[in-house]
Amino acid sequence: MAKVKTRDGTELYVKDWGKGRPVVLIHGWPLSADSWDPIAMRLADNGYRAIAYDRRGFGRSDQPFAGYDYDTLADDLADVMQETGATSDATLIGFSMGGGEVARYMLRHDGKGIISAALLSSVVPYMLQTEDNPDGVPQKQLEAIAKSVEEDRAAFFATFFKQFYGVGLISHPVSSEAIQASWNVAMTASLKATLACAQSFGFTDFRPDLAAFNVPTLVLHGTSDTIVPPAIGRNAAQGIRQSQYVEYDGEPHGLFLTATDRLASDLLTFLSGSPTTATRELEGGTLA
């Protein structure tokens, strides 16, 4: 099944690998389902069914002019699950912006069919810095991202992906070719989708959604993430009752590429129902 048609007629490209209990993978901004390939292969090789899809406006999916709010994106997720038959005993794993679809699905669709969830480098519960959310990103910084994308997204993404993968003068956790590949994918997205999704993940408050998480949830973040501050991950774990929080010391935002082996191992351990490491109590959950 290469395409799924959503309730508003938008067609989404879907990759469906392996057999077994379904694990639905939701990608980050501004990438596609292909970013999950190294993890999806490990899942499929270990007896799981890995389902990943291109968000509307990105990759090989349709590029409508509307529908980039999280209510619609969560409905898209529900439609992918329905059309692929991943409607029971499923796990949702959201990376970065994709964590928002997980949270909104849990609230808007009552977590139907879900037995566990994971938020990786996720924007949940709230990216915007406010008086009651001091750990967030300042509004001026979020607005500067949108302005840069609108003015010259090709130049913006050339710099953005270095930060995304933690590349600096000394640190080179990924190759220049990997950065180029991510840039290539980002440039296939529509400008409308790229801007509208930046607005959605930057300014949507998911704090009310946290109470809808009624399943074991892994929250994982790199301590050197400069795209989504690690404190945001901690806040998610504190607000989710059955959560386990894991930090990867020194890792940047793009964990699926910079820490592939460890991430795959930790996800497989979590999916098996075991804690990823020894844990200690954290208000609202546990900290690994």
**Tokens 């799924």, located at residue:** 4
Active site residue 225: yes
Our answer to whether residue 27 is catalytic in this structure is: no
Q: For residue 276, what are the contacts with CB-CB under 8 A and spacing of at least 6?
A: 218, 244, 246, 266, 269, 270, 288
Residue with tokens 């566990």: 116
* Cβ contact 225:111 at 8 Å: no
Active-site pick, 32, 79, 209, 253: 253
Query: Considering 32, 35, 61, 96, which one is annotated as catalytic?
Result: 96
- Residues facing residue 230 across a β-bridge: none
Q: What are phi and psi of 223, to 5 degrees?
A: -75, -15
Alpha-carbon distance of 27 to 158, in angstroms, equals: 19
- Of these residues, 54, 75, 79, 225, which one is catalytic? 225
Q: Token pair 């953005």 is at which residue?
A: 160
Catalytic residue set: 96, 225, 253
